[in-house]
């Protein structure tokens, strides 16, 4: 556990420095490499279970998706965070059509259903999900391949809430865990640990939300208004509820990957980081939290525009 904490802290510091200091194109290159490493580990998991996938095509489509997300306009706040809906639909349709065509012309492929399913799911599961972090980092950006300090704070907020909740869940689960959540998938996770993780995540979220409001961190209008009269999107109760939802999304992300790993009989996606396993093991709890946060910001912004 000590090794896990120190390695996790080192990775978190590196990630924070990357997002806060380095220029946009370098950030993009590092995040792209991270996403492709996670995608490769997912394909390796499938291969361990004897399930085929078109790795090269999946990586190419994932790279194109992330490039489009990072190059898209981030101006306009929450409503414009990420690719426009019509472009997302067109891109995903074209991607899945390309995968099916690849299988159709693969005369040696005897398991086309599995190959196309795993390749397509791998694109949604990793590049599309990780793309939400890029969308957040570009919140309010005007230039291509540019990020904003406000957007970087949103990334920081999600990562801190989810990762600190992991530590809280471990501590509470170790001390008080009696009732297992999904012993078939993850024998060590308990409902008591989940409660402790939610409590920790909400506490961290409220602390970061208060600091953001006090010192005007993050984009204007999210945790703080442009002036004293403006109400931010993320008030006290919304911050608490959103933090709890992020923790739950993180737990499910962890459970989903554990389910995949148990299905093919492995403990870690890859032995890369001491105490943490592979890149995918480190990212699993964040994959669903980031898009959830982006969608919640859009919903809250829409309600505020309606005066609700």
Q: What is the pLDDT of residue 151?
A: 86
What does the pLDDT look like over 201-240, one tens digit per residue?
999 999 999 999 999 888 888 998 766 557 888 999 999 9
Per-residue pLDDT of the chain (308 residues; tens, 9 = 90+): 556 656 665 666 677 677 667 777 888 888 899 899 999 999 999 999 899 999 999 999 999 999 888 877 555 544 445 566 778 888 889 999 999 999 999 998 889 999 999 999 999 999 999 988 888 888 877 777 778 888 889 988 998 999 889 888 888 888 888 888 888 888 888 999 999 999 999 999 999 999 999 998 888 889 987 665 578 889 999 999 999 999 999 999 999 998 998 888 877 655 555 556 678 888 888 999 999 998 898 888 766 544 44
Q: What is the mean pLDDT of the chain?
A: 84
Alpha-carbon span 172 to 203, nearest angstrom: 15
169 alpha carbon, distance to own chain's centre: 19
Q: Which two tokens stand for residue 103?
A: 């299988």
CA nearest neighbour of 243 among 199, 192, 304, 213: 199
Q: Would you list the domain boundaries of the chain?
A: 2-305
141 and 131 Cβ atoms separated by less than 8 Å: no
Q: What is the pLDDT of residue 306?
A: 44
Q: What is the pLDDT of residue 79?
A: 42
Q: What is the pLDDT of residue 3?
A: 62
Alpha-carbon span 297 to 154, nearest angstrom: 11
DSSP string for the chain: -HHHHHHHHHHHHHHHHHHHHS-HHHHHHHHHHHHHHHHHHHHHHHHHTT----HHHHHHHHHHHHHHHHHS--TTGGGGSSS-HHHHHHHHHHHHHHHHHHHHT-TT-S-HHHHHHHHHHHHIIIIIHHHHHHHHHTTT--STT---HHHHHHHHHHHHHHHHHHHHHHHHHHHH--SEEETTTEEEEEHHHHHHHHHHHHHHHHHHHHHHHHHT-SSBTTTB-SSTTPPPSS-HHHHHHHHHHHHHHHHHHHHHHHHHHHHHT-SSS-S-BTTTBSHHHHHTTTTTHHHHHHHHHHHHHHHHHTT-
């Amino acid at each position: 556990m000590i090794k896990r904490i120190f390695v996790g802290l080192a990775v978190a510091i590196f990630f924070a420095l990357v997002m806060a200091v380095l220029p946009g194109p370098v950030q993009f290159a590092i995040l792209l490499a991270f996403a492709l490493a996670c995608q490769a580990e997912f394909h390796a998991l499938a291969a361990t279970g004897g399930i085929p996938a078109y790795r090269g095509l999946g990586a190419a489509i994932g790279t194109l998706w992330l490039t489009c997300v990072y190059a898209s306009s981030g101006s306009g706040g929450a409503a414009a965070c990420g690719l426009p809906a019509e472009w997302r639909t067109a891109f995903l349709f074209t991607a899945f059509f390309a995968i099916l065509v690849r299988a159709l012309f693969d005369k040696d492929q005897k398991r086309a259903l599995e190959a196309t399913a795993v390749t397509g799911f791998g694109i949604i599961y990793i590049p599309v999900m990780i793309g939400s972090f890029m969308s957040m980092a570009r919140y309010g950006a005007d230039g291509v391949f540019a990020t904003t300090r406000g957007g970087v704070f949103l990334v920081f907020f999600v990562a801190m809430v989810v990762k600190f909740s992991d530590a809280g869940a471990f501590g509470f689960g170790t001390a008080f865990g009696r009732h297992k959540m999904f012993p078939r998938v993850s024998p060590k996770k308990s409902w008591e640990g989940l409660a402790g993780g939610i409590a920790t995540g909400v506490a961290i979220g409220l602390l970061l939300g208060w600091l953001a409001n006090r010192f005007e961190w993050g984009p204007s209008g999210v945790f703080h208004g442009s002036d004293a009269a403006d109400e931010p999107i993320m008030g006290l109760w919304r911050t608490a509820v959103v933090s709890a939802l992020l923790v739950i999304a993180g737990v499910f992300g962890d459970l989903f990957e554990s389910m995949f790993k148990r299905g093919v009989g492995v403990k870690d996606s890859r032995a890369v980081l001491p105490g943490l396993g592979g890149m995918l093991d480190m990212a699993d709890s964040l994959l669903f939290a980031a898009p959830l946060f982006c969608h919640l910001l859009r919903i809250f912004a829409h309600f505020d525009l309606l005066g609700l």
